[in-house]
Amino acid sequence: MNPTTTTTADGLDRADPLSRFREHFHIPRRGDGELAYFVGNSLGLQPKAAAAAVQAELDTWRDLAVEGHFRGERPWLRYLELMNAPLAELVGAQNIEVAAMNTLTVNLHLLMVSFYRPTTERPAILIEAGAFPSDWQAVESQIRFHGFEPAECLIEVQPDEANGTVSMQAIARAIELHGPRLALVLWPGVQYRTGQAFDLQEIARLAHAQGAQVGFDCAHAAGNLALALHDSNADFATWCHYKYVNAGPGAISGIFVHERHAHDHTLPRLTGWYGHKLSTRFQMAADFDPTPGAEGWAMSNPPILALASVRASLEIFRAAGGMAALRERSLRLTGYLEARIRDQLANVLEILTPAEPERRGCQLSLRVRGGREQGRALFEHLAAQGVLGDWREPDVIRISPAPLYNRFSEIDRLVLAVLNWRG
């Protein structure tokens, strides 16, 4: 299928049963019209239910004060438990394997306390070259914290494909080459700049075969791909909820710890009272008795007002049929965007993201032919026309049609804006 007309786009929007979920979100406006917002890979739109969800907890605080921990529709003491089932559905996990807490880089550090245990023989961490700076900085600082040198122990797998993507063969070669020295493989579910998605199960298999632990940063994968973290066999993962999960700026992060570690009290961890088993927590003993599973990595009183917006958004995912249904719509939307670019904009835009649908999420990373200056000029032209993508240095425009709220007709609007550009 190679649709290219506005009539086709409008028809696709009308025919798609998931198009109605756009009505669950506030769409930003400029002047008299709505923006074409393709920046869900950076900050998702606000669900209309978010304000009511937060207000409900404010009302509980107003009416019950401290008793809100034990009374009301959603007692705060068990709020994390309420989140586990929808979180597990979002990332393909078991309830015991997930928890909502902290923010992403904090969680990376906390999980590396448990799963990065370097020795003289195995001090190394393997990541992708060009990793998001926060990941690189977290890894670099962990290596230094343990008394090793990043120059010797931080291994970066270089892109080996055109457009800066990394083949599975390159990942496999790096894991095999450095296997005896690897303590941890930390890999993204989706690479933030190129939009490339990876076979997480195969990466975990390769790393475990070499005796390394495996963690995934799913910041750009959660709410984007139909993840299967339990089946991937990873030791841990973490992600944020402010991108495709639409829970608001700086939203609480999520973590995954595989069930095989759920009852392992020998794993080192930084502990806090809220990770202590609830049945004995209020005995106020000094000894730490961890909650089984991912909640055992919690440390502090959960921020209920912040969690409320996560809960409101996850309810929309459930109503839409979960990630399997949304992934199908995402394939249609991004496939339509790719077809329009290749048919009408190939002389202007180069697509960096892999063409194979299984190797990408909803994001297409684009480079303007003619160089960075031309790319930046087009990016600013699109913004002036009310078409918002985002810019990543040195020369990438990222366009991400989010399946919960973007439309085929918005893609036509982007294409028309590019066609009208005089670069």
Give which of 92, 87, 88 is closest to 229, Cα–Cα.
92
Residue 105 region by backbone torsions, left for phi larger than 0, else alpha for psi between -120 and 50, else beta: alpha
**What is the phi/psi pair of residue 358, to 5°?**
-70, -10
Name residues whose C-beta falls within 8 Å of residue 257's C-beta, 6 or more positions apart in sequence: 97, 111, 235, 236, 293, 294, 296, 297
Question: Tokens 């439309």, residue?
Answer: 407
The neighbour count for residue 268, using CB atoms within 10 Å, is: 9
Task: Return the pLDDT at 6.
Answer: 58
Task: Return the pLDDT at 227.
Answer: 98
Task: Return the pLDDT at 2.
Answer: 42
The three-state secondary structure class of 342 is helix
CB distance 110 to 274 below 8 Å? no
Name residues whose C-beta falls within 8 Å of residue 341's C-beta, 6 or more positions apart in sequence: 349, 351, 364, 366, 415
**What is the phi/psi pair of residue 155, to 5°?**
-105, 125
Q: What is the CATH number of domain 6-34+322-419?
A: 3.90.1150.10
The neighbour count for residue 383, using CB atoms within 10 Å, is: 16
Q: From start to end of 145-243, where are the E strands?
A: 154-157, 182-188, 213-217, 236-239
Q: What is the CATH number of domain 54-318?
A: 3.40.640.10
| Domain residue spans of the chain | 6-34+322-419, 54-318
Per-residue confidence of the chain (423 residues) as pLDDT tens digits? 344 455 689 999 999 999 999 999 999 999 889 999 999 999 999 999 999 999 999 999 999 999 999 999 999 999 999 999 999 999 999 999 999 999 999 999 999 999 999 999 999 999 999 999 999 999 999 999 999 999 999 999 999 999 999 999 999 999 999 999 999 999 999 999 999 999 999 999 999 999 999 999 999 999 999 999 999 999 999 999 999 999 999 999 999 999 999 999 999 999 999 999 999 999 999 999 999 999 999 999 999 999 999 999 999 999 999 999 999 999 999 999 999 999 999 999 999 999 999 999 999 999 999 999 999 999 999 999 999 999 999 999 999 999 999 999 999 999 999 999 986
CB distance 208 to 275 below 8 Å? no
How far apart CA 174 and CA 168 sit, in angstroms, is 10
The neighbour count for residue 265, using CB atoms within 10 Å, is: 10
Q: Which residues of 232-241 are buried (b: 16+ CB within 10 A; e: fewer)?
A: bbbbbbbbbb
Task: Return the pLDDT at 5.
Answer: 54
